[in-house]
Amino acid sequence: MNKELAKTYDPKGIEDRLYEKWMNKKYFHAEVDRSKKPFTIVMPPPNVTGQLHMGHALDNTMQDILIRYKRMQGYNALWQPGTDHAAIATEVKVIEKLREQGIDKDEIGREEFLKHAWEWKEEYGGKIINQLKKMGSSADWDRERFTMDEGCSKAVEEVFIKLYEKGYIYKGSRIINWCPVCQTSISDAEVEHVDQDGFFWHINYPIVGEEGKFVEIATTRPETLLGDTAVAVNPEDERYKDLIGKMLKLPLTDREIPVIADSYVDKEFGTGCVKITPAHDPNDFEVGKRHNLPEINIMNDDATINELGGKYANMERYAARKAMVEDLKELGLLVKVVPHTHNVGTHDRCKTTVEPMIKQQWFVRMEEMAKPAIEAIKNGSLKFVPERFDKIYLHWLENIRDWCISRQLWWGHRIPAYYCDECGEIVVSGSQPEKCPKCGCTHLTQDEDTLDTWFSSALWPFSTLGWPDKTEDLDYFFPTDVLVTGYDIIFFWVIRMVFSSLEQTGKVPFHHVLIHGLIRDSQGRKMSKSLGNGIDPLEIIDQYGADALRLTLITGNAPGNDMRFYMERVEASRNFANKVWNASRFIMMNLEKAEVPSSMELSQLTSADKWILSKVNTLAGDVTENMDKYELGIAVQKVYDFIWEEFCDWYIEMVKPRLYNDDDNTKSAALWTLKTVLGNALKLLHPFMPFITEEIFCTLQEEEESIMISEWPQFRNDWDFKEDETAVETIKEAVRGIRNVRTGMNVPPSKKAKVYVVSEKQEIRDIFENGKVFFATLGYASDVEIQTDKTGIADDAVSAVIPDAVIYMPFAELVDIEKEVERLKKEEERLTKELARVNGMLGNERFVSKAPASKIEEEKAKLARYTDMMAQVQERLAQLVK
């Protein structure tokens, strides 16, 4: 060996260089190869506007661990990357940029705006990809896709037309989430529910023809009263049976509305009477459909009251609320106002309170498409890890509403629907129709709206592999194997991919969905801009290296569970990297000085060598099993514990005497074992910490090109040395016993003492005889005697007991008796004074009668403790002075 590791581990010096090597060597790239089994992961596409945050860091670390593991196992591993066009987020950023330049989006028009959007995408779009590369992500960047690239756009158009022709896509008026600031419909995925302090306004609705009689309702949104078309009561509610069918005078309007019976009403909640506003509430909309109620939308797109609002027309929604409440008070119809904290939907982008509103939009009928997606979980073709997420998935699908897919934006896939200017006929087509099929008119206008971003990302697992074309890639790499994602987007994205894939390809898009939790701050809070508690992964990488960040994110990580991020843990991860580096340097410096055989007869190995070989062998089997079950946190903990404890703290210390003794005929066996075990341990650590393992491995194994393409260690029967494991564990037990005794007596490690091993069992004596060299080193022994009984051992020898043996050390060799007697006498004096003080206090009547009970108990506890300590000191003195 002539290459050597740098003196200190410096991630900055190695990470970029190694990543470039991997890229140049095309290790991440996968091509169809029928001789190999494929393994595919599709990357959840980060927003093109995105900046790497801890959630991305965790998500991509987990995917990278799996893909590196499978690559080493010999699979043809493809990690398919790409970015999402993120319609609303990107449009907002582009509008902001134009505004800074004094440009108005509406004035420049759609075509010109889209030019600016594409320029913005080119300038900022690659940012997050470069950040993912800093993490060590081994995705196939040659295949990078974008949800609005030509292939993905073709897939989107094809799916829209197919679903429309099948009757699954329709245009209609339904309740949608409307953002009054961004002025677009938004998906459920973009609605963030937050607790807000509000009120319940109790309002009396007069009963028509019954002077002085009212129905009392309670509402959190009094302004929507203008759109009420009924009041509902539960048909089982005895209080209101005689009201059903009567008419009510709707306050502040000239309209009358009926009282209807519907089991949707909860008798126990509020007054048991519910105002029904079908145009402004999803549940009311369903009630309205059941009872044929009119739908009255009383709001403009900017959340001002529209012309149907009479005197409140053109008022902003909350200003109108205030004015209406005042007017109700004057009319004597406001019963009371009760403070109430309720869950309110806000737009996750701009934080505006979302307005449920009835609008003409494009929808996907979900009832039929949901059925195969439900069946996929029930028949096991799709599995969640952990399984408990099945319930959430099924609950969502079994209660699914039709999906609103149109957005009032310019950035995105424009809806391929055209309207005849003459007769209004809708034509859905991949290109502009020459004439209207109904009336022959040649003037047709394309729908202004674009599709929900989730519509295109729902096709991601197959559109990225060439669908709708029948490509080799699609045939070979699809369905993919596992999707890694956070539990916060199960419904929105995972479910949409499942039903879209089953509908378009007849197959599930992936076999497993590995769900991870959120990364929270050290106090357990969600990381957010508003709290200012986010931690930038790139800053951590800059300070500690990508490997330390990756190890921190995966240590203690259990599928589906949130985890807290502590800087102390990043430091611990860096310390582990230093430990691995320094141990490897030590091993390599010793390998430099000697001829190390390339192979070794296992019979030439000592018990210690066989023990560590057996340990790393068991580790390979265990870690493989954990990885296959997606228990990545458990797997890495086992590798960490093995390297730090078994390999560094025990084995390296055990073999030092052999390394330093050129006459020891087992030296080459020790060196071969060190090199072999380190090589295997590095391979098992590689998926988690790719950079440091590559740097060490390529220095250690000069004949191998890269650890990335080396073979994953497998359990080998010929390395399974159970007897030697038992033997070394016995010696370790004895060493721990010796160390505990010495620590208890404050004996410094530099002070050696003779050690006697006494056991009646031949097999135990043989174990210590065979391991004498390293037992002496680890047990700080000047000499080791192994015998069947206590013959020749001084009476004052101290002992440590282990199963089937006792370890003795002559007291005089451990301790300077004169000094120890002097120390014990001083301790006896101190305890005599303390006992006198405590006894004095407890014997004092005044103290006992006046002191608090807790103080008396405290003094009694001291008395017991000092009495106990005094007995030990005096017993020890008696032994020594004898």
Give the separation between CA 586 and CA 322, rounded to whole angstroms.
Answer: 76
Instruction: Select the more confidently predicted residue: 162 or 851.
Output: 162
Mean pLDDT of the chain: 92
818-881 fold: Helix Hairpins (1.10.287)
Most confidently predicted of 494-498, 750-754, 815-819? 494-498
What would the pLDDT profile of 321-370 be if each residue is shown by its tens digit?
Answer: 999 999 999 999 999 999 988 888 888 778 888 999 998 999 999 999 99
Q: At what angle do helices 87-100 and 105-124 cross, to 10 degrees?
A: 110
What would the pLDDT profile of 365-406 be if each residue is shown by its tens digit?
Answer: 999 999 999 999 999 999 999 999 999 999 989 988 899 999
> What percentage of the chain exceeds 70 in pLDDT?
100
Instruction: Select the more confidently predicted residue: 882 or 413.
Output: 413
Average pLDDT of span 184-199: 83
Does 68 score more than 70 pLDDT? Answer: yes
- Residue 1: what pLDDT? 47
CATH architecture of 725-815: 2-Layer Sandwich (3.30)
Give the domain ranges of the chain: 192-354, 566-704, 725-815, 818-881
What would the pLDDT profile of 627-650 be if each residue is shown by its tens digit?
Answer: 999 999 999 999 999 999 999 999
Instruction: Select the more confidently predicted residue: 30 or 599.
Output: 30
Which residue ranges make up the annotated binding site for ATP? Answer: 529
Give the separation between CA 458 and CA 160, rounded to whole angstroms.
Answer: 12
Which residue ranges make up the annotated binding site? Answer: 529
pLDDT band at residue 818 under the 50/70/90 scheme: confident
The token pair at 336 is 């009371």
pTM reported for the whole predicted model: 0.86
CA angle centred on 622, ends 618 and 625, rounded to 5°: 145
- Residue 882: what pLDDT? 66
Does 251 score more than 80 pLDDT? Answer: yes
Does 483 score more than 90 pLDDT? Answer: yes
Domain 192-354 sits in which CATH superfamily? Valyl/Leucyl/Isoleucyl-tRNA synthetase, editing domain (3.90.740.10)
Cis ω for the linkage preceding 468 (within 30 of 0):
yes
pLDDT band at residue 791 under the 50/70/90 scheme: confident
Average pLDDT of span 512-526: 91
In 368-434, where do the E strands start and end? 383-385, 403-404, 406-407, 417-420, 426-428
Considering only CA atoms, which of 29, 143, 126, 67 is closest in space to residue 690? 67
Give the separation between CA 561 and CA 82, rounded to whole angstroms.
Answer: 26
> What percentage of the chain exceeds 90 in pLDDT?
70
566-704 fold: Isoleucyl-tRNA Synthetase; Domain 1 (1.10.730)
Distances (CA, A) of 850 to 739, 772, 837, 847, 853: 48, 64, 18, 5, 9
What is the H or E stretch that residue 177 is in?
A: strand 169-179
- Residue 838: what pLDDT? 92
What would the pLDDT profile of 89-136 be if each residue is shown by its tens digit?
Answer: 898 889 889 999 999 888 999 999 999 999 999 888 888 999 999 999
Q: 668-703 in b/e burial notation, b at 16+ Cβ within 10 A?
A: bbbbbbbbbbbbbbbbbbbbbbbbbbbbbbbbbbee
Backbone angles phi, psi at 828, to 5 degrees: -65, -40
- Residue 2: what pLDDT? 52
Q: Is 878 helix (H, G, I), strand (E, B) or coil?
A: helix
Low-confidence winner among 151-165, 301-315, 526-540 (lowest mean pLDDT)? 526-540
What would the pLDDT profile of 743-769 be if each residue is shown by its tens digit?
Answer: 878 788 888 999 999 999 999 999 999
Instruction: Select the more confidently predicted residue: 193 or 25.
Output: 25
- Residue 823: what pLDDT? 81
The token pair at 514 is 């590995």
Give the separation between CA 521 and CA 563, rounded to whole angstroms.
Answer: 8
Give the separation between CA 831 and CA 537, rounded to whole angstroms.
Answer: 56
Average pLDDT of span 41-65: 92
CA angle centred on 285, ends 281 and 287, rounded to 5°: 120
Does 738 score more than 60 pLDDT? Answer: yes
